[in-house]
Amino acid sequence: MGTIGRWVGTALQGAYAWAQRAGSIGPGHRRARRFVAFGDGSAICFPVTALYGERHIRIGRHTIVGPHCTLSAGVSPEHVLDRETVVSIGDGCLIGRGSGIVAHESIVIGDDVFTGHHVYITDANHGYEDPDVPIGRQFAAPRPVEIGAGSWLGHGSIVLPGARVGRHVVIGAGSVVTGTIPDFSVAVGVPARVVRRYDPADPEAGWRAVDPG
């Protein structure tokens, strides 16, 4: 690469770094004022893949939503929702690059929850009961989702409607959560099953292997 090429490369890198800073949403940004709450020290990084329904989204303090994420309350910007808060993300969370959080009724993410890249969390799905209507135009009733404080969701994991993930839980990469995962456990697979447990009442036992059945 010649001198001009290096100059161009440096200029492009500088321009992109500026765009990342300027395009990110943080406290005081005009778009942050649309949210139910947008905590101090939090940011939604640039670029954003999709963001709508902000008036139904609450973000706590010191939470980072990585670049290329989807964050939405409702199926479209025109979707009218009954609840004030449909998506609630707690304090100190990190939502990994390319992840998606899509809610129609209620997704509650506790404090200090971290996710890997490309994690998908939703409380809604498509129906298929009517064979005369395209599946993409059918919607099943949403079911609330909860993710407990201090949990980790590995790369590419999926949390489906009605799922309950407890506190201090590890969800293995690529796992699909469809039911309830208890506190202090490790769950892997499709569907995710508990393979290790910790009992706070017996800390000397450590993390014990569990037969997933």
Looking up residue 196, the CATH number of its domain turns out to be 2.160.10.10
Please report, for residues 56, 58, 141, the alpha-carbon distance to residue 151 in angstroms, rounded to integers and kept in the order given. 23, 19, 27
Cα(first)–Cα(last) distance of the chain, in Å?
Answer: 58
Report pLDDT for 106: 97
- Each residue's pLDDT tens digit, 130-181: 999 999 999 889 999 999 999 999 999 999 999 999 999 999 999 999 999 9
pTM (global) more than 0.75: yes
C-beta separation of 164 from 180 below 8 A: yes
CB atoms within 10 A of CB 136: 7
User: Left, alpha or beta for 16 (phi > 0: left; psi -120 to 50: alpha)?
Assistant: alpha
Catalytic annotation, residues: 126
- Compute the distance between CA of residue 58 and CA of residue 70 in angstroms, rounded to an integer: 15
In the predicted model, what is the mean pLDDT of residues 23-32? 88
User: Left, alpha or beta for 78 (phi > 0: left; psi -120 to 50: alpha)?
Assistant: alpha
Report pLDDT for 18: 64
In the predicted model, what is the mean pLDDT of residues 187-206? 94
Contacts of 178 (CB under 8 A, 6+ apart): 160, 162, 163, 191, 192
Report pLDDT for 82: 78
Report pLDDT for 11: 64
The structural domain count of the chain equals 1
- Each residue's pLDDT tens digit, 83-112: 889 999 999 999 999 999 999 999 999 999
1-5, 24-28, 35-39, 99-103 — which is least confidently predicted?
Answer: 1-5
C-beta separation of 114 from 93 below 8 A: yes
The domain containing residue 81 runs over which residues?
3-209
C-beta separation of 108 from 115 below 8 A: no
